[in-house]
Amino acid sequence: MSTTKTIKSALISVFSKEGLEPIVRKLHEQNVTFYSTGGTEDFIKNLGIPVVPVEDVTSYPSILGGRVKTLHPKIFGGILNRQDHEGDVQQMEEYNIPQIDLVIVDLYPFEKTVASGASEADIIEKIDIGGISLIRAAAKNFKDTVIVASVDQYSSLLDLITEQNGATTLENRKLFATKAFHVSSHYDTAIFNYFNTDDTIFKQSIGDGQVLRYGENPHQKGFFFGDFDAMFTKLHGKELSYNNLLDVDAAVNLILEFKNEDPTFAILKHNNACGLATRNTMKDAYLTALAGDPTSAFGGVLIANGNIDEATAEEINKLFCEVVIAPSYDEKAIAILEEKKNRIILVQNDVELPNRQVRTCLNGILVQGKNNITDNKEHLKTVTNTTPSEQEIEDLIFASKVCKNTKSNTIVFAKNKTLIASGTGQTSRVDALKQAVEKAETFGFSLKGAVMASDAFFPFPDCVELAHNAGITAVIQPGGSIKDQLSIDFCNENKVAMVFTGTRHFKH
């Protein structure tokens, strides 16, 4: 039997009619018989095109407020019968079951209904039963049946039936079936996640992945699965790369720590902040952040917690950078930043980020809740005889926010709400501290009167001793070491203030 089949009959039952008319008209030109229900049936009739009500096929009305319309052996037999199976052919004749070659159906908008904040009753009513059953049946029988499972596939179907005069190949039908199973599995995942309260079960479905130029390196394939356009409005520049996206993610999470605070500007490289400052104006915040490490800032990702004005843009324009992100820009600022054709300019929208973090691990995945704790004054417990000043407390909290968003092991030095230096991703905390001291010295910063943040406790007093010798006067750390007292004793002997937060901020 030929694998190429001509569509002679179609069952159409859709929630959204947008884009349906040209398909119906083209199929009508090709003498296709239509079967339909409810609103779709009326839609086809209003086009002046004949349509057979499903009730005429089943001899059964739509019941239970429309919950049961197409769920009938004559409908599903017409979809699921195997045209090369002798027994199926005989039963089709015996029970007077019409052949259905094409099924066009979409699903009730469950996800949109949930997102709208609708009541549980309204959400439950948007769980599609008949539609999902029709999709699965037609997709299963792709050898004989064409399934179009969403509005997104209408244009593909119209092109196909126009170019091939209503005929489809096995390859065509299998491709539509694949897309249909994607639609059904995504839909079921959304419903499950609405009901699920068991954190030990993980299901996620994200469609329409964006193909990237490559992955972390040119020989690796790269894809982004997510709604980038919901988070950002892209004003200018080239396409974002895999590494750009990782840096943007790090930048967004870091600047979130300073939301609704005074003008704050951060510069990131390889997921870590190389410059960050809070000032009275965005221009001053940028210039101070840049001074923290102008070498690493080259080719970095820049992000602000507020509007970028013309004066700030003029300073930014002097630096080669990959990405600039802000919640808003002055028109003149945009014009200045667009002078570099490849520079990516993003407007960050106020979108809630996921509360779960997912990454591959071995032959599976790791899932954890997001680190949503930001250290503040209420969390601080002074454990030394010397109490930090108000200025030191502000700097300690500032440093802790940076530390939380820097790769472990990490040490962060800050002064006057400015990132002075950091040691990042080291295999020992002492090495991280030494790296930070060396970096501060390289760029001519005095650590006298600066504060230090650590992402985890000090197992020995060597870190506070090195910090004190460098000029550090106050320390913030989670505490929790069985040898905490040794570090406390050293701080007491040398009049260094130290506070515990009780919260570790590892970032691997």
Can you tell me the distance from the alpha carbon of 222 to that of 225, in angstroms, rounded to the nearest whole number? 10
Tokens of 91: 């039963």
Q: 154 with 23: CB under 8 angstroms?
A: yes
Q: Is the pLDDT of residue 354 over 80?
A: yes
CB-based contact 410:432 (threshold 8 Å) = yes
Q: Give pLDDT tens digits for 142-183.
A: 999 999 999 999 999 999 999 999 999 999 999 999 999 999
Q: Note whether 30 and 166 are within 8 A (CB).
A: yes
Is residue 307 within 8 A of residue 282, CB to CB? The reply is yes
Catalytic pick among 174, 270, 379, 434:
270
Give how far the C-alpha of residue 471 lies from the chain's centroid of Cα atoms, to the nearest Å. 42
Q: How confident is the model over 231-237, as a mean pLDDT? A: 96
CA dihedral 279, 256, 273, 239 (to 10 degrees): -110
Cβ–Cβ contacts within 10 Å for residue 396, how many?
26
430-456: average pLDDT: 96
Dihedral, 304, 309, 311, 314 alpha carbons, nearest 10:
70
402 Cβ contact partners less than 8 Å away, ≥ 6 residues apart: 254, 273, 276, 412, 414, 419, 422, 453
Contacts of residue 443, defined as CB under 8 A and 6 or more positions apart, other chains included, come to 291, 292, 293, 294, 421
Residues whose CB is less than 8 angstroms from the CB of residue 313 and which lie 6 or more positions away in sequence, other chains included = 329, 330, 332, 333, 334, 336, 337
Q: Report the alpha-carbon distance of residue 250 to residue 143 in Å, rounded.
A: 47
| pLDDT at res. 351 | 92
Element (H, E) at 178: helix 170-195
Write down the pLDDT at residue 12. 94
Residue from 140, 143, 236, 340 carrying the catalytic annotation: 140
Q: Which of 62-71, 328-337, 368-377, 443-452 has the lowest mean pLDDT?
A: 62-71
**pLDDT for residue 1:** 53
Other beta carbons within 10 angstroms of residue 502's beta carbon come to 12
Q: How far apart, in whole angstroms, are the C-alpha atoms of residue 2 and residue 20?
A: 29
* Confidence band for 395, pLDDT divided at 50, 70 and 90: very high
Of the chain, the percentage scoring pLDDT greater than 90 comes to 85
Q: Which of 246, 285, 294, 254 minimizes the C-alpha distance to 445?
A: 294
Q: How confident is the model at residue 306 (pLDDT cuts 50, 70, 90)?
A: very high
Average pLDDT of the chain? 94
Top pLDDT among 494 and 71 is at 494
Say if CB 85 and CB 63 are below 8 A apart.
Answer: no
Render pLDDT for 254-305 as a digit per residue (tens, 0 to 9). Answer: 999 999 999 999 999 999 999 999 999 999 999 999 999 999 999 999 999 9
Q: What is the pLDDT of residue 265?
A: 98
- Give the integer Cα–Cα distance in Å for 182 and 188: 10
Look at residue 449 and tell me whether its pLDDT is greater than 90. yes
Q: Quick check: 98 pLDDT over 80?
A: yes
Task: Give the confidence band of 15 by pLDDT, cuts at 50, 70, 90.
Answer: confident
Q: Which whole number is the average pLDDT over 361-374?
A: 94
The reply to whether 270 belongs to the active site is yes
Percent of the chain whose pLDDT exceeds 70 = 100
Q: Residue 400 burial by CB count (10 A; 0-12/13-18/19+): exposed, middle or buried?
A: buried
Asked whether the predicted pLDDT for residue 106 surpasses 70, the reply is yes
Read off the pTM. Answer: 0.87
Nearest in space to 49 (alpha carbons), one of 62, 37, 61, 31:
31
Q: How far apart are CA 274 and CA 427, in angstroms?
A: 19
